[in-house]
Amino acid sequence: MDGFGVGEDEFEVGGRPVRLLSGALHYFRVHEEQWGHRLAMLRAMGLNCVETYVPWNLHEPRPGVFRDVAALGRFLDAAHAAGLWAIVRPGPYICAEWENGGLPHWLTGPLGPRARTRDGEYLAHVERWFHRLLREVVPRQHGGADGGPVIMVQVENEYGSYGSDQVYLRRLADLLRGEGVRVPLFTSDGPEDHMLTGGSLPGVLATANFGSAARAGFGTLRAHRPKGPLMCMEFWCGWFDHWGADHVVRDADDAAAALREILECGASVNLYMAHGGTNFAGWAGANRGGALHDGPLEPDVTSYDYDAPIDEYGRPTAKFWRFREVLAPYASGPLPEPPPPLPVLGSPATAALPEWAPLGTVLECLGTPESSTPCRPPSRSWTWTGAWCVTR
């Protein structure tokens, strides 16, 4: 099978130019039973690719103890079955408005600022983690024996916003290659000089992240990379929410106009997010507020709806239909219709109750009665707790 590659000006499959129309969908924010439905929604919107982060701390709760890393492989298989390519962003740091940016607490606690550096102890942990994680990626690369969906893998994540250690980035790239990743690698950073300088790596595709002003953003990227495909790896079509703040909403027409500008530049795009999902089990992170992100940490809410074109419940929004109109001319054929909606949690439901039990029988199953005696504290040897007394 013809492999995926980075050409001089465009992405290519078997030497033929292709445009990536991708959407972010995090497998860990969507119930596995709903993956197929959500991936079909991406296809219906006009996308040919899905992108996901991988949260290290979710899968390695203690050093060397792994928990369902195979979920990534199952998700990639589901993407392949849906007819989508896949972009994997394994970090090790992912941000993603996820707890600790995906880095395990047992790692950043002892290491502190040595995380995300060339520090030997830190890289030894990364090496162990990648050795396990990439078993789910390497056999599923595009152009392999089984014709898998994975076409690109990211090195770190927006590292230019954090540091500029080229040795560290090169070590990560070499580690990915050493574990068998042969599809193109890439970096993604904001379209600013210091970010692209600090976060990119010679010989590795550089992409940009922004929510508007595509021509200006790509102009900055071109100043650093005169050749290579243009891609907005994170087109911020919505935003996340903090506790106590209003839900952030972006007008559908405004977002569609920004998406159209990206495509008119001849670029590929990854919608961040296409479908946000939910931060289950308290995994939502926190972000610094303020114009320069130098304010206090503000916790993110449980919902990761992100005002995405596919909402938290998997339903198409007005933004979905506007994006579909913009993307349709770039599709290889007629777009499929969205799949029927799945039942929404909390929807009215009926249940048959063919049997009943008298109250006495129920009480017998619950055991003997328990009682306490309300009182007033008779002396200083008692502590008054409001309704009941306890000794001390």
Q: What is the mean pLDDT of residues 358-374?
A: 69
Question: How does residue 146 score in pLDDT terms, banded at 50, 70 and 90?
Answer: low
Q: What is the pLDDT of residue 357?
A: 86
Distances (CA, A) of 148 to 47, 82, 90, 237, 346: 17, 12, 17, 28, 37
SS3 content of the chain, % helix, strand, coil (to 5): 35, 20, 45
Going by DSSP bridges, is the β-strand pair 21-25/268-275 parallel, antiparallel, or unpaired? parallel
Please indicate whether residue 116 or residue 391 has the higher confidence score (pLDDT). 116
Domains and CATH numbers, the chain: 4-287+295-330 (3.20.20.80)
Q: What is the pLDDT of residue 370?
A: 60
Write out the H or E segment, with its range, that includes residue 90. none
Question: How does residue 62 score in pLDDT terms, banded at 50, 70 and 90?
Answer: very high
Q: What is the pLDDT of residue 349?
A: 73
Mean pLDDT taken over the chain: 92
Distance CA 333, CA 144 (A): 26
CA dihedral 98, 104, 110, 111 (to 10 degrees): -70
Catalytic residue check, 32: no
Please indicate whether residue 170 or residue 352 has the higher confidence score (pLDDT). 170
pLDDT in tens, 286-312: 998 776 677 889 999 999 999 999 999
Distance CA 63, CA 107 (A): 8
Please indicate whether residue 91 or residue 377 has the higher confidence score (pLDDT). 91
Catalytic residue check, 234: yes
Going by DSSP bridges, is the β-strand pair 150-154/49-53 parallel, antiparallel, or unpaired? unpaired
Catalytic residue among 60, 136, 156, 234: 234
Between vectors from CA 141 to CA 94 and to CA 145, what angle results, nearest 5°? 165
Three-state secondary-structure class, residue 61: coil
**Is 60 exceeded by the pLDDT of residue 375?**
no
Q: What is the pLDDT of residue 389?
A: 36
From 57, 66, 59, 63, select the one nearest 125 (Cα to Cα).
63
The answer to whether 314 touches 8, Cβ cutoff 8 Å, is no
Distances (CA, A) of 165 to 196, 234, 259, 332: 12, 23, 32, 41
Question: What is the per-residue DSSP string for 187-247?
Answer: EEE-SSHHHHHHH--TTSEEEEEESS-HHHHHHHHHHH-SSS--EEEEEESS---BTTSPP
Distances (CA, A) of 230 to 3, 136, 191, 368: 19, 28, 12, 72
List the structure tokens of 116.
């995300």
Between vectors from CA 71 to CA 188 and to CA 140, what angle results, nearest 5°? 65
Q: Which residue has the tokens 């439905």?
A: 37
Please indicate whether residue 308 or residue 378 has the higher confidence score (pLDDT). 308
**Is 70 exceeded by the pLDDT of residue 120?**
yes
Distances (CA, A) of 348 to 209, 243, 343: 41, 28, 10
Q: Sign of the C-alpha dihedral, residues 106, 112, 157, 144? A: negative
pLDDT in tens, 16-58: 999 999 999 999 999 999 999 999 999 999 999 999 999 999 9
DSSP-assigned beta bridge partners for residue 242? 300
Catalytic residue among 60, 97, 156, 158: 158
Write out the H or E segment, with its range, that includes residue 88. strand 85-89
**Is 90 exceeded by the pLDDT of residue 371?**
no
The answer to whether 247 touches 241, Cβ cutoff 8 Å, is yes
Question: What is the per-residue DSSP string for 141-176?
Answer: BTTSTT--SEEEEE-SSSGGGT---HHHHHHHHHHH
Q: What is the pLDDT of residue 292?
A: 64
From 285, 344, 339, select the one nearest 316 (Cα to Cα).
339
- Burial class of residue 145, CB neighbours in 10 A (0-12, 13-18, 19+): exposed
Amino acid at 311: D
Q: Which residue has the tokens 């913009």?
A: 326
pTM value surpassing 0.75: yes
